[in-house]
Amino acid sequence: MDPVPAQDPESVAGCDVRGALARQRAQARAIRDLTKVIDCNIEIHRHPHAKREGR
């Protein structure tokens, strides 16, 4: 199982899924729904993208 990200994972340019999750996370944070914030962070973290070279 993946650990919970310590910091908010960032969106990837051009990824609609991560962009939508980042917007949902911002809305959840605005209403102090920290459970939803964590859920969004996990989904962003787990969303597949090819690894960049050198990472």
pLDDT in tens, 2-54: 555 567 887 778 889 999 999 999 999 999 999 999 999 999 989 887 555 44
From residue 8, how far is each of 17, 29, 40, 45, 52 by CA, in Å?
Answer: 15, 12, 9, 9, 19
pTM greater than the 0.75 cutoff: no
Contact 5, 45 (CB under 8 A): yes
Contact 36, 28 (CB under 8 A): yes
Structure tokens at 2: 């993946």
Of 52, 22, 55, which Cα lies nearest the Cα of 40? 22
* pLDDT of res. 6: 64
